Amino acid sequence: MIRFVNLILFLAIVLPTNTRWLPFTALTAQIQNAVSAATSSEEIPRDAIPQNAPCVDQPKSHREMAASFAQGKVPLASQMTGTWVQIGDVYKDPATKNSLNCSGIRRGGAFEFVLVANGYSVALHPIGTYSQKAVMRPNHKGSVEFPVDFEADEGPETYTCRLTKRGTLACVDADTGEEFKKMKVDASLITEGTD
């Protein structure tokens, strides 16, 4: 209730007085723009926030993700071109909470991890580290690989990925699995990293 009252006060201050009598559709558009501006300026939380809004047919466990990966294939460079948003983050350890969101895992007002690909050349935008560039390389084992530096002591992680039958990109190792879905994304929802 307090957030609703704050939103009403915010809108009363932000909207100029000459717009208060606009037709409903025009006023609605201005309200949506004002709310978007307020939301996009949200501070990004320090820790990931587990989510539970999976796609209908999305793998919900490490075992299911590994099976989807096993049935996948090497993506062609032309298939990779576009923006890929992380929709799944699953763990083999049952004590670690999985995170699934069909419309993209978010932290605050930004996506947790976005890949912007031009063929096999990829710009990586993970929250919590700097934006990076990488090149996907076929590993001759039915997958593509690329490094992601999370600034850990042991160095960059190697993501090993395949295009699934569902058209998503599944990246799996012995302990974790991440899934990305190609979608159009507003640039304001992509983090530019901490560089």
User: Do residues 28 and 56 share a domain?
Assistant: no
13 and 60, same domain (yes or no) = no
Same domain assignment for residues 11 and 56: no
**195, part of any domain:** no
Whether 97 and 123 share a structural domain: yes
Q: What is the pLDDT of residue 194?
A: 58
Question: Strands, E, within the chain: which ranges?
Answer: 52-53, 82-91, 99-101, 106-107, 110-111, 113-118, 121-126, 132-135, 137-138, 144-148, 157-163, 169-172, 176-182
Contact criterion met (CB below 8 Å) for 81 and 118:
yes
pLDDT number for residue 23: 47
- pLDDT, tens digit (0-9, with 9 covering 90-100), for 53-74: 999 999 999 999 999 999 999 9
CATH, residue 150: 2.40.128.280
Query: Are 33 and 91 in the same domain?
Result: no
Answer yes or no: do 93 and 156 share one domain: yes
Residues 70 and 36 in one domain: no
User: Are 125 and 131 in contact, with CB atoms under 8 Å apart?
Assistant: yes
| 74 falls within a domain | yes
- The 10s digit of each residue's pLDDT in 4-48 is 444 444 444 444 444 444 444 444 344 334 334 434 446 778 788
pLDDT confidence of residue 49: 85
Does residue 127 lie within any of the structural domains? yes
* The two three-digit tokens of residue 169, written as one number: 């990109």
Give the domain extent around 18. Answer: 2-40
Instruction: For residues 20 and 112, state if they share a domain.
Output: no
> Do 15 and 90 belong together in one domain?
no
* pLDDT number for residue 193: 67
Asked, for residue 194, whether it belongs to a domain, the answer is no
Considering the domain boundaries, does residue 153 fall inside one? yes
pLDDT tens digits, one per residue of 73-126: 999 999 999 999 999 999 999 999 999 999 999 998 899 999 999 999 999 999
